[in-house]
Amino acid sequence: MKNNMKKNMENVEEIEEIEKRDKRDKFLFDAHTHLNFEEFSKGEREELAKEIDNSNLRYIIDAGCDLNSSILALENARKYKWCYAASGIHPEYAEKASDEMIDEIKMLAKDEKCVAIGEIGLDFHYGKDYKEEQIILFRKQLRLALEMELPIMIHSRDADQLTMDILKDEGVFAKKRIDKFSRDGDYPEAKVQLHCFSGSKELAMEYVKLGATISVGGPVTFKNGKKTAEVVRAIPIERLLSETDAPYLTPEPFRGKMNKSQYVEYVVRRIAILKDMEFEETALKLLENGIRFFGIK
């Protein structure tokens, strides 16, 4: 009985300690997630939101993939103070995309809680049969982002070189845009996020030189994630963002389960090890990068 009492008292102290920590340490940033995932019921989404409320997450960027998910992402962003939205049409939907849809994306992107155009890009792993449609859609949405002077969230799979060529060709790294976003004495800033980057170290370095930011998620924690680990080691921490791509790409040690934004912690822990930095220092740096990249006020 006595022992139990003592145990309970210890628990109370421990819970109070954790609660204090939670309030103080909202220092994680998930720069690409899908709280808008269409298979979540309203109840499930609210449950996930409650978990985020009680976690160490400060901000998440809820990325749209088509018109419906972009609308939902903005709804989430309006509802939760820690949520911001990206609006865009994923290359997977290139065949169904119309100019009217892009006009709708533009309307959504005018909202102050929409902080990027994305996710947009090229996917030649799944979309081999409609490459032309993907390229047209990608170019149109890049022009929208340039016109609106918004950050760009890129999805690129099995299309490394063409993605870079199109970004250059559309003027995403042009002096005008770099001058607009860069700060004196800092890295050139083009506000281009290479989401879940899977390219080589050399490609990452080339992107960084141009003014892009490399975003890494769960795969950096995988045993076969050596290529991404090399990328993280090679580029300055100022050019990195942490993300989950939840509900996909769950990091170790939860691989096999559904991914959640909170698990960005395990991505940050891995980045800290690769950069030979303290976890909290790394988290704060990545938080600062995210706030600055997306212009969160």
Which residue ranges make up the site for Zn ion (CB under 5 A)?
245
State which residue, 189 or 243, has the beta carbon closest to Zn ion: 243
State which residue, 80 or 248, has the beta carbon closest to Zn ion: 248
- In the complex, the smallest distance separating the C-beta of residue 243 from Zn ion, rounded to whole angstroms, is 8
State which residue, 30 or 245, has the beta carbon closest to Zn ion: 245
- In the complex, the smallest distance separating the C-beta of residue 248 from Zn ion, rounded to whole angstroms, is 7
- In the complex, the smallest distance separating the C-beta of residue 94 from Zn ion, rounded to whole angstroms, is 16
- In the complex, the smallest distance separating the C-beta of residue 140 from Zn ion, rounded to whole angstroms, is 20
Record the tokens describing residue 274, joined without a space: 């690769």
DSSP state of 112: T
State which residue, 32 or 177, has the beta carbon closest to Zn ion: 32
Please state the length of the chain.
297
Let me know: does 27 contact 288? Beta carbons within 8 Å: no
**Which residue of the chain is nearest Zn ion when measured via CB?**
245
- In terms of Cβ atoms closer than 10 Å to its own Cβ (0-12, 13-18, 19+), residue 78 is middle
CA 159 to chain centroid: 19
- In the complex, the smallest distance separating the C-beta of residue 223 from Zn ion, rounded to whole angstroms, is 22
At 225 the three-state DSSP class reads: coil
- In the complex, the smallest distance separating the C-beta of residue 283 from Zn ion, rounded to whole angstroms, is 22
Residue 24's φ and ψ, nearest 5 degrees, are: -75, -35
- In terms of Cβ atoms closer than 10 Å to its own Cβ (0-12, 13-18, 19+), residue 296 is middle
State which residue, 25 or 66, has the beta carbon closest to Zn ion: 66
DSSP state of 56: S
State which residue, 191 or 285, has the beta carbon closest to Zn ion: 191
Q: Which long-range contacts (CB under 8 A, 24 or more apart) does 129-138 make?
A: 130/94, 130/95, 133/94, 133/95, 133/97, 134/91, 134/94, 135/162, 135/166, 136/94, 137/89, 137/91, 137/94, 137/97, 138/91, 138/166
- In the complex, the smallest distance separating the C-beta of residue 32 from Zn ion, rounded to whole angstroms, is 6
Q: 211-234 in b/e burial notation, b at 16+ Cβ within 10 A?
A: bbbbbbbbbbbbeebeebbebbee
State which residue, 67 or 272, has the beta carbon closest to Zn ion: 67
Let me know: does 190 contact 175? Beta carbons within 8 Å: no
- In the complex, the smallest distance separating the C-beta of residue 182 from Zn ion, rounded to whole angstroms, is 27
Record the tokens describing residue 13, joined without a space: 């102290």
State which residue, 177 or 290, has the beta carbon closest to Zn ion: 290
